[in-house]
Amino acid sequence: MANNNSKRKNRTNYPLILATVLTTAAVAGAIFLVLTALGHNDTHISDEYSNTPNQSAVSESTESKNNGSSLSEPDNSGIDETSQSYEEYIGVEYAIDITEWEQYIEPENADAYLILVNKTHPLASDYVPANMVDVVYTRKDGRATQKMVYTAEKALQAFLLEAAEYGVTDVTVTSAYRSYSKQSEIFNDNVNKNLSKFATLEECEEYVSTFSARPGTSEHQTGLVCDMHNLSSAGAAFGNTPEAKWLAQNAHRFGFIMRYAEDKTDITRIIYEPWHFRYVGRKAATEMYLSNLCLEEYLENR
Ligand SMILES: [Zn+2]
């Protein structure tokens, strides 16, 4: 009898072991697929990531106690439940040492960076953001060094340092802060170029406002924005490049959003602009990215 019992036990255990093995394999496979889809789904540029991150790019931070795994640091008070979900669903560690940059990508006074500027929320003509600095990544082609608000510019540096680790090395900033008067100049130039196509000035201005903001309604006046790409001039074609895809998928990790998405033009009333990045801080950027919300939708539901 003892022998029979033993045999029966052995027989009943095999399916259990098999089930356990299959379940483990399935879970591991699923995790792999999720990580592949979310984090490293562009083989053209993620190949470089398999190499050891290039520490020369961040040599000033090699003495840090943190080895780039700050998202799992338990004492990081800037990380709240949103970042928990960030870690849970995105699960991509920073390739660069993020320690010195964290204060900029996740600022303490985060709400100060959620200003909404669009066709129905214009800025005053005398609005000039405080604390602007030179944009290190301004394109070196003779143009004036672009300016951005200090915190946003620092976060941008971290963003593009990380990008370089993934092989995105030729993206540069072509335009950042624009004053009200500069925007007036650009808008009026565009109106003058197109005036002959329309019966009235109003019709022409309405048309121009679909691709060139009226003064006061451009986000560039906030100092929290940059246009960056690797083309000779900005165009929707940039969105198809591996560089643009990497930027769009990783912007939130550095507090930026790709502001004018292709599927949100009815809400933003701005054409698809894969080159236009807006700083909002990592918490808001990550929430928007995970929920596929544009800034208007995010602020409305907040
Ligand atoms: Zn722009």
Task: Show me where the domains of the chain are located.
Answer: 2-39, 44-178+218-300
Element (H, E) at 276: strand 273-279
CA 72 to ligand 1 center in whole angstroms: 34
| 153, 165, 273, 287: the active-site residue | 273
Contact present, 220 and 277 (Cβ < 8 Å): no
Per-residue pLDDT of the chain (302 residues; tens, 9 = 90+): 444 444 444 444 555 544 555 555 555 545 444 444 443 333 333 333 333 334 333 233 333 333 333 333 333 333 444 555 556 655 679 999 999 999 999 999 999 999 999 999 999 999 999 999 999 999 999 999 999 999 999 999 999 999 999 999 999 999 999 999 999 999 999 999 999 999 999 999 999 998 899 999 999 999 999 999 999 999 999 999 999 999 999 999 999 999 999 999 999 999 999 999 999 999 999 999 999 999 999 999 88
Task: Return the CATH fold of 44-178+218-300.
Answer: Muramoyl-pentapeptide Carboxypeptidase; domain 2 (3.30.1380)
CA 234 to ligand 1 center in whole angstroms: 9
> Alpha helix locations (H) across the chain?
2-39, 43-46, 81-89, 102-105, 150-165, 180-194, 201-208, 242-250, 265-268, 282-291, 295-300
Q: Which residues pair with 278 in a beta bridge?
A: 225, 257
CA 222 to ligand 1 center in whole angstroms: 11
CA 275 to ligand 1 center in whole angstroms: 7
- To the query of whether residue 273 is one of the catalytic residues in this protein, the response is yes
In this structure, what token pair is assigned to residue 271?
């054409």
Angle between helical axes of 282-291 and 81-89 (0-180°, round to 10): 50
CA 276 to ligand 1 center in whole angstroms: 4
Pairing relationship of beta strands 132-134 and 147-149 according to DSSP bridges: antiparallel
Please give the backbone phi and psi of residue 26, each rounded to the nearest 5 degrees, phi first.
Answer: -65, -45
Q: Identify how many contiguous H helices and E strands the chain contains and give both numbers.
A: 11, 6
